[in-house]
Structure 1
Amino acid sequence: MRSESVGLGGFESTTTPAAAAAVFGDQVEQAEHFVELLAEHGVERGLIGPREIDRLWERHVLNSAVIGEHIPRGVRVVDVGSGAGLPGVPLAIARPDLDIVLLEPMARRVDWLSEVAETLGLPITIVRGRAEEKAIRQQLGLADVVTARAVAPLARLASWCLPLVRSSGTLVALKGASAADEIERDRAAVRKAGGGEPRLAECGAGVLETPSTVVVIERVEQRKPERSRRRSGARSR
Protein backbone atom coordinates (compact mmCIF):
# COMPACT_ATOMS: atom_id res chain seq x y z
CA MET A 1 0.00 0.00 0.00
CA ARG A 2 1.17 3.52 -0.69
CA SER A 3 0.05 6.96 0.46
CA GLU A 4 1.06 10.00 -1.57
CA SER A 5 0.86 13.64 -0.57
CA VAL A 6 2.39 17.05 -1.09
CA GLY A 7 4.66 18.16 1.74
CA LEU A 8 7.05 21.03 2.33
CA GLY A 9 9.42 21.31 -0.60
CA GLY A 10 7.30 19.39 -3.07
CA PHE A 11 6.09 15.84 -3.57
CA GLU A 12 6.47 13.38 -0.72
CA SER A 13 5.43 9.76 -0.51
CA THR A 14 4.98 7.45 2.44
CA THR A 15 4.77 3.70 2.07
CA THR A 16 2.40 1.94 4.42
CA PRO A 17 4.43 -0.68 6.32
CA ALA A 18 3.22 -4.23 6.78
CA ALA A 19 2.95 -3.65 10.52
CA ALA A 20 0.14 -1.14 9.94
CA ALA A 21 -2.35 -3.87 9.05
CA ALA A 22 -1.43 -5.80 12.19
CA VAL A 23 -1.81 -2.75 14.42
CA PHE A 24 -4.86 -1.08 12.84
CA GLY A 25 -6.72 -4.04 11.31
CA ASP A 26 -9.86 -2.95 9.45
CA GLN A 27 -9.10 0.69 10.32
CA VAL A 28 -5.82 0.79 8.38
CA GLU A 29 -7.27 3.11 5.72
CA GLN A 30 -8.15 5.64 8.42
CA ALA A 31 -4.56 5.45 9.64
CA GLU A 32 -3.27 5.99 6.09
CA HIS A 33 -5.50 9.04 5.76
CA PHE A 34 -4.11 10.46 9.01
CA VAL A 35 -0.56 9.97 7.74
CA GLU A 36 -1.52 11.76 4.51
CA LEU A 37 -2.90 14.69 6.49
CA LEU A 38 0.25 14.92 8.60
CA ALA A 39 2.51 14.68 5.55
CA GLU A 40 0.55 17.33 3.66
CA HIS A 41 -0.15 19.83 6.42
CA GLY A 42 1.98 18.91 9.43
CA VAL A 43 5.09 20.89 8.53
CA GLU A 44 3.39 24.03 7.23
CA ARG A 45 1.23 24.18 10.36
CA GLY A 46 4.14 23.65 12.72
CA LEU A 47 2.98 20.24 13.93
CA ILE A 48 5.98 18.16 12.88
CA GLY A 49 9.48 18.85 11.59
CA PRO A 50 10.31 18.39 7.88
CA ARG A 51 12.60 15.46 8.64
CA GLU A 52 9.75 13.56 10.24
CA ILE A 53 7.74 13.00 7.05
CA ASP A 54 9.76 9.97 5.97
CA ARG A 55 9.28 8.31 9.36
CA LEU A 56 5.72 9.25 10.20
CA TRP A 57 4.60 5.63 10.38
CA GLU A 58 7.38 4.13 12.46
CA ARG A 59 8.28 7.03 14.74
CA HIS A 60 4.89 8.62 15.29
CA VAL A 61 1.77 6.72 14.21
CA LEU A 62 2.53 3.06 14.87
CA ASN A 63 4.44 3.64 18.07
CA SER A 64 1.50 5.71 19.36
CA ALA A 65 -1.14 3.12 18.50
CA VAL A 66 0.59 0.18 20.17
CA ILE A 67 0.35 1.72 23.65
CA GLY A 68 -3.18 0.33 23.54
CA GLU A 69 -1.61 -2.91 24.78
CA HIS A 70 -1.60 -1.30 28.22
CA ILE A 71 -5.16 0.06 28.07
CA PRO A 72 -8.21 -2.07 29.00
CA ARG A 73 -11.21 -2.26 26.70
CA GLY A 74 -14.01 0.28 26.84
CA VAL A 75 -12.39 2.74 29.24
CA ARG A 76 -12.17 6.52 29.24
CA VAL A 77 -8.81 7.94 28.14
CA VAL A 78 -7.51 11.52 28.37
CA ASP A 79 -4.53 12.29 26.12
CA VAL A 80 -2.58 15.20 27.61
CA GLY A 81 -0.77 17.59 25.27
CA SER A 82 -2.08 15.98 22.09
CA GLY A 83 -0.32 18.39 19.74
CA ALA A 84 -0.43 16.86 16.26
CA GLY A 85 -2.72 14.14 17.60
CA LEU A 86 -0.10 11.82 19.02
CA PRO A 87 -0.75 9.39 20.58
CA GLY A 88 -4.47 10.17 20.81
CA VAL A 89 -5.52 9.96 17.15
CA PRO A 90 -3.70 6.70 16.25
CA LEU A 91 -5.01 5.21 19.49
CA ALA A 92 -8.57 6.26 18.62
CA ILE A 93 -8.21 4.68 15.17
CA ALA A 94 -6.76 1.41 16.45
CA ARG A 95 -9.11 1.18 19.47
CA PRO A 96 -12.62 2.39 18.57
CA ASP A 97 -13.84 0.84 21.84
CA LEU A 98 -12.19 3.64 23.83
CA ASP A 99 -13.79 6.94 24.90
CA ILE A 100 -10.96 9.37 24.11
CA VAL A 101 -10.52 13.02 25.08
CA LEU A 102 -7.69 15.05 23.53
CA LEU A 103 -6.40 17.85 25.78
CA GLU A 104 -4.33 20.56 24.06
CA PRO A 105 -3.59 24.16 25.18
CA MET A 106 -2.75 25.78 21.82
CA ALA A 107 -5.67 27.10 19.74
CA ARG A 108 -4.12 26.34 16.34
CA ARG A 109 -3.50 22.74 17.38
CA VAL A 110 -7.03 22.43 18.72
CA ASP A 111 -8.26 23.60 15.31
CA TRP A 112 -6.09 20.95 13.64
CA LEU A 113 -7.35 18.20 15.93
CA SER A 114 -10.96 19.21 15.26
CA GLU A 115 -10.35 19.08 11.51
CA VAL A 116 -8.71 15.66 11.78
CA ALA A 117 -11.56 14.27 13.88
CA GLU A 118 -14.14 15.53 11.40
CA THR A 119 -12.21 14.36 8.32
CA LEU A 120 -11.59 10.88 9.70
CA GLY A 121 -14.98 10.55 11.35
CA LEU A 122 -13.50 9.89 14.79
CA PRO A 123 -15.88 10.18 17.77
CA ILE A 124 -13.34 11.90 20.02
CA THR A 125 -13.71 14.91 22.30
CA ILE A 126 -11.27 17.81 22.01
CA VAL A 127 -10.72 20.20 24.92
CA ARG A 128 -8.50 23.27 24.98
CA GLY A 129 -6.56 23.65 28.20
CA ARG A 130 -3.73 22.40 30.39
CA ALA A 131 -3.81 19.41 32.70
CA GLU A 132 -2.53 21.44 35.65
CA GLU A 133 -5.41 23.95 35.48
CA LYS A 134 -7.99 23.50 38.24
CA ALA A 135 -10.89 24.41 35.94
CA ILE A 136 -9.80 21.81 33.39
CA ARG A 137 -9.53 19.13 36.06
CA GLN A 138 -13.04 19.93 37.19
CA GLN A 139 -14.32 19.93 33.61
CA LEU A 140 -12.74 16.63 32.65
CA GLY A 141 -13.35 14.70 35.83
CA LEU A 142 -11.40 11.49 36.38
CA ALA A 143 -10.26 9.15 33.62
CA ASP A 144 -9.42 5.45 33.71
CA VAL A 145 -6.22 6.10 31.75
CA VAL A 146 -4.22 9.22 30.97
CA THR A 147 -1.71 9.15 28.11
CA ALA A 148 1.09 11.54 27.22
CA ARG A 149 3.94 11.68 24.72
CA ALA A 150 7.09 13.83 24.93
CA VAL A 151 5.35 16.40 27.13
CA ALA A 152 7.73 16.82 30.08
CA PRO A 153 10.13 15.04 32.45
CA LEU A 154 8.47 12.26 34.45
CA ALA A 155 8.22 14.19 37.74
CA ARG A 156 6.42 17.11 36.15
CA LEU A 157 4.31 14.82 33.99
CA ALA A 158 3.15 12.90 37.06
CA SER A 159 2.21 16.10 38.91
CA TRP A 160 0.13 17.25 35.93
CA CYS A 161 -1.47 13.98 34.89
CA LEU A 162 -2.02 11.80 37.96
CA PRO A 163 -4.68 14.16 39.42
CA LEU A 164 -6.73 13.35 36.29
CA VAL A 165 -6.54 9.58 36.94
CA ARG A 166 -9.07 7.74 39.08
CA SER A 167 -7.86 5.55 41.91
CA SER A 168 -6.36 2.32 40.48
CA GLY A 169 -6.32 3.89 37.01
CA THR A 170 -3.06 4.41 35.14
CA LEU A 171 -0.83 6.99 33.52
CA VAL A 172 0.78 5.61 30.34
CA ALA A 173 3.62 7.86 29.23
CA LEU A 174 5.51 7.31 25.98
CA LYS A 175 9.20 7.77 26.71
CA GLY A 176 12.55 7.35 24.99
CA ALA A 177 15.92 5.88 25.89
CA SER A 178 16.15 7.91 29.12
CA ALA A 179 13.02 6.33 30.64
CA ALA A 180 14.87 4.11 33.13
CA ASP A 181 16.98 7.05 34.32
CA GLU A 182 13.86 9.20 34.72
CA ILE A 183 12.22 6.52 36.85
CA GLU A 184 15.25 6.31 39.11
CA ARG A 185 15.51 10.09 39.42
CA ASP A 186 11.81 10.90 39.81
CA ARG A 187 10.47 7.95 41.82
CA ALA A 188 9.90 10.03 44.97
CA ALA A 189 8.18 12.82 43.01
CA VAL A 190 5.86 10.28 41.41
CA ARG A 191 4.85 8.95 44.83
CA LYS A 192 4.26 12.50 46.06
CA ALA A 193 1.95 13.11 43.08
CA GLY A 194 -0.16 10.08 44.00
CA GLY A 195 1.46 7.39 41.91
CA GLY A 196 2.66 3.90 42.71
CA GLU A 197 5.93 2.37 41.59
CA PRO A 198 6.67 3.42 37.96
CA ARG A 199 6.95 0.43 35.65
CA LEU A 200 8.96 0.34 32.42
CA ALA A 201 7.34 -1.61 29.58
CA GLU A 202 7.57 -2.17 25.84
CA CYS A 203 4.72 -2.04 23.33
CA GLY A 204 4.61 -3.52 19.85
CA ALA A 205 7.27 -6.18 20.40
CA GLY A 206 7.14 -8.66 17.53
CA VAL A 207 5.23 -6.16 15.38
CA LEU A 208 7.40 -3.04 15.27
CA GLU A 209 11.06 -3.09 14.35
CA THR A 210 11.70 -0.81 17.33
CA PRO A 211 9.09 -1.32 20.07
CA SER A 212 7.73 1.70 21.91
CA THR A 213 8.86 2.35 25.47
CA VAL A 214 6.30 3.44 28.03
CA VAL A 215 6.28 4.21 31.72
CA VAL A 216 3.13 2.91 33.40
CA ILE A 217 2.13 4.41 36.75
CA GLU A 218 -0.91 3.35 38.77
CA ARG A 219 -2.81 6.00 40.71
CA VAL A 220 -2.87 4.81 44.28
CA GLU A 221 -5.48 5.52 46.91
CA GLN A 222 -4.44 8.52 48.95
CA ARG A 223 -4.68 7.58 52.62
CA LYS A 224 -5.95 10.32 54.88
CA PRO A 225 -4.13 10.81 58.18
CA GLU A 226 -6.01 9.37 61.13
CA ARG A 227 -7.75 11.91 63.28
CA SER A 228 -6.61 12.12 66.84
CA ARG A 229 -9.08 10.50 69.19
CA ARG A 230 -8.48 13.29 71.62
CA ARG A 231 -9.83 16.70 70.81
CA SER A 232 -7.12 19.27 70.27
CA GLY A 233 -8.16 21.18 73.39
CA ALA A 234 -8.62 18.18 75.69
CA ARG A 235 -6.22 17.62 78.57
CA SER A 236 -4.52 14.37 79.28
CA ARG A 237 -4.77 13.02 82.78
Structure 2
Amino acid sequence: MHLFVEITGGGDPRPGEISLAHHGVLFLDELPEFDRKVLEVLREPMESGVIHISRAARQASFPARFQLVAAMNPCPCGYHGHPSGRCQCTPEQVGRYRGKISGPLLDRIDLQIEVPALSAAELQQAAPGESSAVVRQRVEEARLRQQQRQGCLNAALQGAELERHCQGDEAALALLAEALPRLGLSARAYHRILRVSRTIADLEQAERIGRGHVLQAIQLRRMMPGGA
Protein backbone atom coordinates (compact mmCIF):
# COMPACT_ATOMS: atom_id res chain seq x y z
CA MET A 1 0.00 0.00 0.00
CA HIS A 2 1.35 3.42 -0.96
CA LEU A 3 0.20 5.92 1.64
CA PHE A 4 1.57 9.03 0.02
CA VAL A 5 2.42 8.60 -3.65
CA GLU A 6 2.86 6.03 -6.35
CA ILE A 7 5.57 6.42 -8.98
CA THR A 8 4.56 5.14 -12.39
CA GLY A 9 6.91 3.56 -14.88
CA GLY A 10 7.42 6.95 -16.49
CA GLY A 11 8.34 8.54 -13.18
CA ASP A 12 5.14 10.55 -12.84
CA PRO A 13 3.78 10.75 -9.28
CA ARG A 14 0.20 9.64 -8.74
CA PRO A 15 -1.99 10.07 -5.65
CA GLY A 16 -1.47 7.52 -2.88
CA GLU A 17 -3.92 6.31 -0.26
CA ILE A 18 -4.18 9.55 1.72
CA SER A 19 -5.12 11.56 -1.38
CA LEU A 20 -7.56 8.86 -2.44
CA ALA A 21 -9.12 9.35 1.01
CA HIS A 22 -9.58 13.11 0.38
CA HIS A 23 -12.90 14.20 1.94
CA GLY A 24 -13.25 10.67 3.28
CA VAL A 25 -11.81 8.35 5.93
CA LEU A 26 -8.29 6.93 6.04
CA PHE A 27 -8.31 3.88 8.32
CA LEU A 28 -4.97 2.52 9.52
CA ASP A 29 -5.23 -0.76 11.42
CA GLU A 30 -2.40 -1.93 13.71
CA LEU A 31 -0.97 1.61 13.70
CA PRO A 32 2.40 0.80 15.39
CA GLU A 33 3.16 -1.76 12.67
CA PHE A 34 3.62 1.02 10.11
CA ASP A 35 7.12 2.39 9.70
CA ARG A 36 7.53 5.35 12.04
CA LYS A 37 9.00 7.51 9.27
CA VAL A 38 5.88 6.88 7.21
CA LEU A 39 3.61 7.83 10.09
CA GLU A 40 5.54 11.04 10.74
CA VAL A 41 4.88 12.22 7.19
CA LEU A 42 1.16 12.17 8.05
CA ARG A 43 1.66 15.21 10.25
CA GLU A 44 1.84 17.73 7.39
CA PRO A 45 -1.36 16.74 5.55
CA MET A 46 -3.22 16.36 8.86
CA GLU A 47 -2.57 20.07 9.44
CA SER A 48 -2.68 21.52 5.92
CA GLY A 49 -4.89 19.09 3.99
CA VAL A 50 -2.24 18.87 1.24
CA ILE A 51 0.62 16.46 0.56
CA HIS A 52 3.71 17.74 -1.26
CA ILE A 53 5.90 15.23 -3.11
CA SER A 54 9.40 15.89 -4.42
CA ARG A 55 11.12 13.23 -6.51
CA ALA A 56 14.31 14.30 -8.30
CA ALA A 57 13.22 16.88 -10.89
CA ARG A 58 9.52 16.20 -10.38
CA GLN A 59 7.31 17.86 -7.80
CA ALA A 60 3.62 17.47 -7.17
CA SER A 61 0.97 18.46 -4.64
CA PHE A 62 -2.17 16.44 -3.99
CA PRO A 63 -5.22 17.20 -1.85
CA ALA A 64 -5.30 15.19 1.37
CA ARG A 65 -8.01 16.49 3.68
CA PHE A 66 -9.03 13.21 5.24
CA GLN A 67 -10.37 11.97 8.56
CA LEU A 68 -7.82 9.67 10.16
CA VAL A 69 -9.15 6.67 12.06
CA ALA A 70 -6.55 4.32 13.53
CA ALA A 71 -6.60 1.24 15.72
CA MET A 72 -3.91 -0.50 17.75
CA ASN A 73 -3.45 -3.03 20.52
CA PRO A 74 -2.37 -1.89 24.01
CA CYS A 75 0.81 -3.98 23.77
CA PRO A 76 2.55 -6.43 21.39
CA CYS A 77 0.49 -9.44 22.53
CA GLY A 78 -2.75 -7.45 22.76
CA TYR A 79 -3.67 -8.40 26.34
CA HIS A 80 -2.17 -5.60 28.43
CA GLY A 81 -4.63 -4.77 31.21
CA HIS A 82 -6.89 -7.72 30.38
CA PRO A 83 -8.58 -9.15 33.51
CA SER A 84 -7.42 -12.66 32.55
CA GLY A 85 -3.81 -11.67 33.20
CA ARG A 86 -2.73 -13.27 29.92
CA CYS A 87 -0.32 -10.46 29.02
CA GLN A 88 3.32 -11.53 29.31
CA CYS A 89 4.80 -8.29 27.94
CA THR A 90 7.35 -6.49 30.09
CA PRO A 91 6.94 -2.76 30.82
CA GLU A 92 9.89 -2.12 28.48
CA GLN A 93 8.18 -4.01 25.64
CA VAL A 94 4.94 -2.10 26.19
CA GLY A 95 6.84 1.19 26.23
CA ARG A 96 8.72 0.41 23.01
CA TYR A 97 5.52 -0.67 21.29
CA ARG A 98 3.60 2.46 22.24
CA GLY A 99 6.65 4.62 21.59
CA LYS A 100 6.36 3.83 17.89
CA ILE A 101 3.62 6.49 17.85
CA SER A 102 5.27 9.85 18.43
CA GLY A 103 3.93 12.56 20.70
CA PRO A 104 3.56 15.09 17.85
CA LEU A 105 1.44 12.62 15.87
CA LEU A 106 -0.73 11.83 18.90
CA ASP A 107 -1.12 15.55 19.48
CA ARG A 108 -2.93 15.77 16.14
CA ILE A 109 -5.46 13.03 16.99
CA ASP A 110 -8.47 14.65 18.66
CA LEU A 111 -10.20 11.57 20.08
CA GLN A 112 -8.22 8.78 21.73
CA ILE A 113 -10.47 6.07 23.12
CA GLU A 114 -9.59 2.85 24.91
CA VAL A 115 -12.00 0.03 24.11
CA PRO A 116 -11.81 -2.61 26.87
CA ALA A 117 -12.58 -6.27 26.30
CA LEU A 118 -16.12 -7.30 27.24
CA SER A 119 -17.16 -10.57 28.81
CA ALA A 120 -19.77 -12.82 27.22
CA ALA A 121 -22.26 -11.78 29.92
CA GLU A 122 -21.71 -8.09 29.18
CA LEU A 123 -22.23 -8.69 25.48
CA GLN A 124 -25.41 -10.67 26.06
CA GLN A 125 -26.88 -8.20 28.56
CA ALA A 126 -26.03 -5.04 26.65
CA ALA A 127 -28.93 -2.60 26.59
CA PRO A 128 -30.08 -1.48 23.14
CA GLY A 129 -28.58 1.85 22.15
CA GLU A 130 -29.65 4.56 19.77
CA SER A 131 -30.21 3.57 16.18
CA SER A 132 -27.78 4.75 13.52
CA ALA A 133 -30.60 6.78 11.96
CA VAL A 134 -31.13 8.76 15.18
CA VAL A 135 -27.42 9.43 15.60
CA ARG A 136 -27.07 10.43 11.96
CA GLN A 137 -29.89 12.94 12.25
CA ARG A 138 -28.27 14.54 15.30
CA VAL A 139 -24.92 14.75 13.52
CA GLU A 140 -26.48 16.25 10.38
CA GLU A 141 -28.26 18.87 12.47
CA ALA A 142 -24.99 19.75 14.24
CA ARG A 143 -23.15 20.07 10.92
CA LEU A 144 -25.91 22.31 9.55
CA ARG A 145 -25.72 24.48 12.67
CA GLN A 146 -21.97 24.91 12.15
CA GLN A 147 -22.37 25.84 8.48
CA GLN A 148 -25.05 28.40 9.29
CA ARG A 149 -23.02 29.93 12.12
CA GLN A 150 -19.58 30.20 10.53
CA GLY A 151 -19.74 28.91 6.95
CA CYS A 152 -17.62 25.82 7.65
CA LEU A 153 -17.35 22.87 9.99
CA ASN A 154 -15.68 23.29 13.38
CA ALA A 155 -12.66 21.28 12.23
CA ALA A 156 -11.81 24.03 9.73
CA LEU A 157 -11.83 26.90 12.23
CA GLN A 158 -8.50 28.69 12.58
CA GLY A 159 -7.11 31.79 14.26
CA ALA A 160 -9.55 34.59 14.98
CA GLU A 161 -12.51 32.58 13.68
CA LEU A 162 -11.71 29.81 16.16
CA GLU A 163 -11.67 32.26 19.07
CA ARG A 164 -14.84 33.96 17.85
CA HIS A 165 -17.00 30.87 17.43
CA CYS A 166 -15.58 28.69 20.22
CA GLN A 167 -16.40 30.95 23.14
CA GLY A 168 -17.00 29.27 26.47
CA ASP A 169 -18.57 30.40 29.70
CA GLU A 170 -16.45 31.34 32.71
CA ALA A 171 -16.41 27.84 34.19
CA ALA A 172 -15.42 26.28 30.85
CA LEU A 173 -12.52 28.68 30.33
CA ALA A 174 -11.34 28.19 33.91
CA LEU A 175 -11.29 24.41 33.47
CA LEU A 176 -9.37 24.67 30.22
CA ALA A 177 -6.84 27.07 31.74
CA GLU A 178 -6.33 24.66 34.66
CA ALA A 179 -5.99 21.61 32.41
CA LEU A 180 -3.37 23.17 30.13
CA PRO A 181 -0.43 23.06 32.59
CA ARG A 182 -1.68 20.13 34.65
CA LEU A 183 -1.95 17.78 31.67
CA GLY A 184 0.99 19.29 29.81
CA LEU A 185 -1.17 20.22 26.82
CA SER A 186 0.37 21.97 23.84
CA ALA A 187 -1.12 25.02 22.15
CA ARG A 188 -2.23 22.70 19.34
CA ALA A 189 -4.02 20.45 21.83
CA TYR A 190 -5.65 23.49 23.45
CA HIS A 191 -7.19 24.58 20.15
CA ARG A 192 -8.20 21.05 19.22
CA ILE A 193 -9.98 20.65 22.56
CA LEU A 194 -11.81 23.91 21.84
CA ARG A 195 -13.03 22.56 18.50
CA VAL A 196 -14.18 19.28 20.01
CA SER A 197 -15.90 21.14 22.86
CA ARG A 198 -17.72 23.31 20.32
CA THR A 199 -18.84 20.19 18.45
CA ILE A 200 -20.13 18.55 21.63
CA ALA A 201 -22.04 21.74 22.41
CA ASP A 202 -23.50 21.71 18.88
CA LEU A 203 -24.67 18.13 19.33
CA GLU A 204 -26.49 19.29 22.47
CA GLN A 205 -27.82 22.40 20.70
CA ALA A 206 -26.02 24.64 23.20
CA GLU A 207 -25.21 28.22 22.23
CA ARG A 208 -22.00 28.43 24.27
CA ILE A 209 -19.38 25.96 25.36
CA GLY A 210 -19.95 24.90 28.96
CA ARG A 211 -17.72 23.27 31.55
CA GLY A 212 -19.24 19.86 30.84
CA HIS A 213 -18.41 20.15 27.15
CA VAL A 214 -14.75 20.95 27.89
CA LEU A 215 -14.54 18.16 30.46
CA GLN A 216 -15.88 15.62 27.98
CA ALA A 217 -13.51 16.83 25.25
CA ILE A 218 -10.54 16.41 27.61
CA GLN A 219 -11.69 12.94 28.67
CA LEU A 220 -11.93 11.96 25.00
CA ARG A 221 -8.30 12.97 24.58
CA ARG A 222 -6.47 10.60 26.88
CA MET A 223 -2.90 10.85 25.69
CA MET A 224 -1.44 7.38 25.37
CA PRO A 225 1.75 7.01 27.43
CA GLY A 226 4.85 5.99 25.60
CA GLY A 227 4.83 8.42 22.66
CA ALA A 228 8.00 10.44 22.18
Q: Higher relative contact order by CA 8 Å / sep ≥ 6: 1 or 2?
A: 2
- Structure richer in strand, relative to its length: 1
| TM category, shorter | under 0.3
TM-score, normalising length: structure 1: 0.25
TM-score, normalising length: structure 2: 0.25
